[in-house]
Each structure stands twice: as structure tokens, then as C-alpha cells.
Amino acid sequence: MNARSETSTTVLRLGGWAVYATAIVAPIGLAFLVAMYVSFAVGAKSQGLVFGWINDVLAVVTGLLMLPTVVAVDVLLRDRTPLASRLALIVGIGANVAIVILQSLLIAGVLTFEQEIGPVLIAFLALVVWFVATGLTCSSTGVLPHGLRLGVLAATYIGYPFWAFWLGRHLLRRAGEPDSAIWAGIGPRSGVKGGMPSK
């Protein structure tokens, strides 16, 4: 295994475990977001603010975990569609960095909700573009089956965990992780050798 192949395997492994983590963190954040609006609806404003704060913190965590995932998807696609892959990398990294920064500024009280909501919605829209564009590219190149369908599902946010588990499994398989390790949640480095499959 050469240095580039070793690096690619490491990136795929890191991205796989990171996106698995988001499959747990993101739905918890969504639950707190729903709890916030329910609390506001029944007049429990103080509890709603707490739930909203937790959702904001989890959005930062999810955004940080998405960064290695975006790079791992670039590793999957760059040999087949270098230009499209590079553009997707820029959009994916930019969207997640913007979300992390904006949500962090909101948590720190530097921005008000009214100041933050417009820019962060644009960042989330860019992330939706990344989900759909990379899904379409994965499907059209044959790199990952059902990529477009799962990308659209991820863009709905409610279907995000299904996409995350699907992508995580494929990334870890490409990195050479045995299925038993993937499902057990442990990552032994022995067994099948990793790296990108030969064309």
C-alpha cells in the first residue's frame, strides 16, 4: 500500500465513523428543536430556550463531524469526476464551516437569533445542494448505488439518519473494515486491506 492509498484509507475510515456519529447526534438535535417549539407553544419559554440552546450546541457538533465526511466523499469521487468532486468539496466544507461558525456565534451571544437565522438557512441550503449533488454523482458514476435517492432523503433532515448509516457503512467497507467491526462499533485494523477499489 502506497502513501496515497494509506491516506485515502484513513480518510475513509475517519469519515465513516464520523458520519455514523452524526446519525445519532443529529436526530437528538431535531428532538430538542421540536421540544423548543412545543415549549414556546404552551408558554414554557424558559424551558424552550434551554432546549433551543442544546439544539444549537448539537448543530455545532454535527457540523464538525460532517467535515471529515465531506472529505471522505471527495476521496470516493475525485478519480471518477475530479471537477465535480472538487466543487462539491468546496460547497460541503463551506456549508458546514459556516453552520459551525454561525451557530457558535449564536450560542456565545454574539449574534441574536434574528441576525443568525438568515445566513444559517443559506448555509443549510448549500448543505442540501451538497447532499443531492454528491448523491447524483455517486449514482451516475456507479460509485455508490442509490446515491441520489439517499441524498434527497438526507436533505429532508428527517431521513438524515438513514443516509448517514448507509454512507458510513459504505465508507468503512471501502476502508477495509470488516462488517462485523462496523456493526459492533469497533474498528480493528486487521483483516481486509483498505484503500480504494481498483478500476
Q: Each residue of 132-175: pLDDT tens digit?
A: 999 999 999 999 989 999 999 999 988 999 999 999 999 999 98
Helical packing angle, 113-141 and 45-77, nearest 10°: 30
pTM for the whole structure: 0.85
The grid cell for 157 is 433532515
Cα angle 130, 175, 89; round to 5: 20
Query: Would you state the pLDDT for residue 6?
Result: 79
Query: Would you state the pLDDT for residue 135?
Result: 96
Query: Would you state the pLDDT for residue 5?
Result: 76
d(CA 154, CA 182): 21
d(CA 85, CA 76): 9
The contacts of residue 139 (CB under 8 Å, 6+ apart) are 145, 146, 147, 148, 149
d(CA 70, CA 94): 10
Domain boundaries, the chain: 3-177
The grid cell for 3 is 502513501
Cell 467497507 belongs to 173
d(CA 95, CA 170): 23
Query: Would you state the pLDDT for residue 180?
Result: 54
The contacts of residue 178 (CB under 8 Å, 6+ apart) are 188, 191, 192
Cα distances (angstroms) measured from residue 191 to each of 123, 173, 176, 179, 180: 40, 12, 8, 11, 11
Residues of the chain with pLDDT under 70: 1-4, 178-199
